[in-house]
Amino acid sequence: MNAGWPKSYFEQLNAYLQWQTDQIVRLEQKVREMSKEIEQLKQQRAIRVDRIEYKFDQLKVETLEGTLNIGLSPTGGDKTIEDLAVNGNAVGAADGAEQPEMYARVERRVFQYLDEECSADIQSLERERDFHLSEDYRDFMIQDIRGQMEGRIWHYLKTTQRAAAGESEADQEELVFGRVKRDVLAAVEKHLDDKRKS
C-alpha cells in the first residue's frame, strides 16, 4: 500500500465499488425478469370474442352521436332542411346555380354567429327557461344547425332578392342574415321547450 494515501480513502473506494457491483447485479436481475415477462406475454394467446349479445335495457349511453333535428326541419321526422317548406315554397339550395357572392357573405356571417355568439344565446334561453344543457350538447346542437344552413340561406336569398329588388345588397344581406338568425333562435327555443317537457 502506498504510504501517501490514507487508509480511509481505499476503504471508501472499496465500499463504493462494492455498492456499484451490487447495483449492477440488481439491474441485471431485473432485466432477466423483464425478459421472462416479455417472453411470457408473447406466448399468451390473444383473447378472441366470438359473439356479443346486447341487452338494450342494460346499456349505458356515454356518448351520443348522430344528427339532431332541433326544429329547423318541420316535423322532427326524417325530413331535412331541404324538404322544409316556408309559405308553401320548398326551401332548398338553388337549382344547380352557382353560389353568388352575397350567399358566401351571408354564409360567412351565419357561421361566424354560430361559432362566436350562438352558444351564449342558447345559454341565455336556457336561463330564461331555468334549464341547463352541457357544453358538449350545446356544441352538438350548433353543429347540427350548421349542417342545415345552406338551404335556409338560399331560400331567404331568393325570396329577399325578389321582394326587395330596389334595396341595396347590404340591406338585403342584413335582412337574410336576420331571418336566418331568427329561425335559428326559434328552432333552439322550440327544441329547449320540447326537451324540457320530456
Residue spans of the chain under pLDDT 50? 1, 73-96, 98
pTM of this structure: 0.51
Residue 86 in any domain: the answer is yes
Residue range(s) defining the domain that contains residue 154: 56-197
User: Is residue 101 a contact partner of residue 28, using CB atoms and an 8 Å limit?
Assistant: no
Cell of 66: 348522430
Cell of 162: 325578389
Residue 98 in any domain: the answer is yes
H helices within the chain, ranges in order?
A: 7-43, 101-116, 118-129, 135-147, 149-163, 169-197
Residue 86 phi, psi (nearest 5): -120, 125
Residue 90 phi, psi (nearest 5): -65, 140
pLDDT at residue 149, as a whole number:
86
Q: Half-sphere exposure (CA, 13 Å, Cβ side) for 157?
A: 21
DSSP 3: T
Residue 33 in any domain: the answer is no
Residue 154 in any domain: the answer is yes
Q: Compute the residue count for the chain.
A: 198
Residue 70 in any domain: the answer is yes
pLDDT at residue 59, as a whole number:
56
Q: What is the number of other CB atoms lying within 10 angstroms of the CB of residue 70? A: 21
pLDDT at residue 6, as a whole number:
64
pLDDT at residue 73, as a whole number:
45
Residue 135 in any domain: the answer is yes
| Number of domains the chain is built from | 1
**How far is it, in rounded angstroms, from Cα 166 to Cα 147?**
31
Residue 89 in any domain: the answer is yes
Residue 43 in any domain: the answer is no
Measured CA to CA in angstroms, residue 130 lies from 45, 113, 124, 136 at distances of: 55, 24, 10, 18
pLDDT at residue 148, as a whole number:
86
**How far is it, in rounded angstroms, from Cα 96 to Cα 89?**
17
Q: How does pLDDT run across 42-74, given as a tens digit for each residue?
A: 887 766 666 766 665 665 656 656 655 555 543
pLDDT at residue 82, as a whole number:
39
